[in-house]
Amino acid sequence: MLKKILIALAALAVVFVGYVAMQPSEFRVVRSATVAAPTPDVFAQVNNFHNWQAWSPWAKLDPAAKATFGGPPAGPGAVFTWAGNDKIGEGRMTLTESHPTDLVKVKVEFVKPFEGTNTTEFTFKPQGDQTAVTWSMAGHNNFVAKALCLFMNMDRMIGRDMENGLAQLKSVVEAAVKK
């Protein structure tokens, strides 16, 4: 009887491992918002990591987090590192590409709670006196991340944070424009 249970458990483990291995390796989460402000004003908020504390969805999760800046104040080569509580973990962002009023691309390297490297992009499209902002995050899921995604919806989890961040970005930029 014990032998049959062990064989059944081993078979279930093999099926689980096979199922996890067949999950997509790549992921992409995308959210958009429209900001009632000129594109250069919205771009300036994203192109400078010093501005992120005002609108980043993660900044308020740990106000005591240690944040450091390196490289130029804005644009390619700008670096932001953080170390905080379990909600925000630890990592580093490097602004890798910046096209004024059009694109900001960031390499995000997570150290804790899980190691991983993702790419985040912000695109900006003028729409009359407003700006459409699209925020995307893409990356590669290793085996462990694939298994976790079976139990956690990455699009919903990260997407919710991105929606909050875009709403805060909208609020910050629109308030500055009204002054």
Percent of the residues in the chain that have a pLDDT greater than 70, as a whole number: 91
141 vs 116: CA distance, rounded Å = 8
Task: Say which residue, 56 or 154, is predicted with more confidence.
Answer: 56
At residue 163, the pLDDT reads 94
Please, are residues 35 and 170 in contact by the beta-carbon 8 Å criterion? yes
At residue 82, the pLDDT reads 93
Please, are residues 101 and 43 in contact by the beta-carbon 8 Å criterion? yes
User: Is it true that domain 26-178 has CATH number 3.30.530.20?
Assistant: yes
pLDDT digits (tens, 9 = 90+) for 32-48: 999 999 999 999 999 99
pTM: 0.82
- Above 80 in pLDDT, residue 146? no
DSSP 11: H
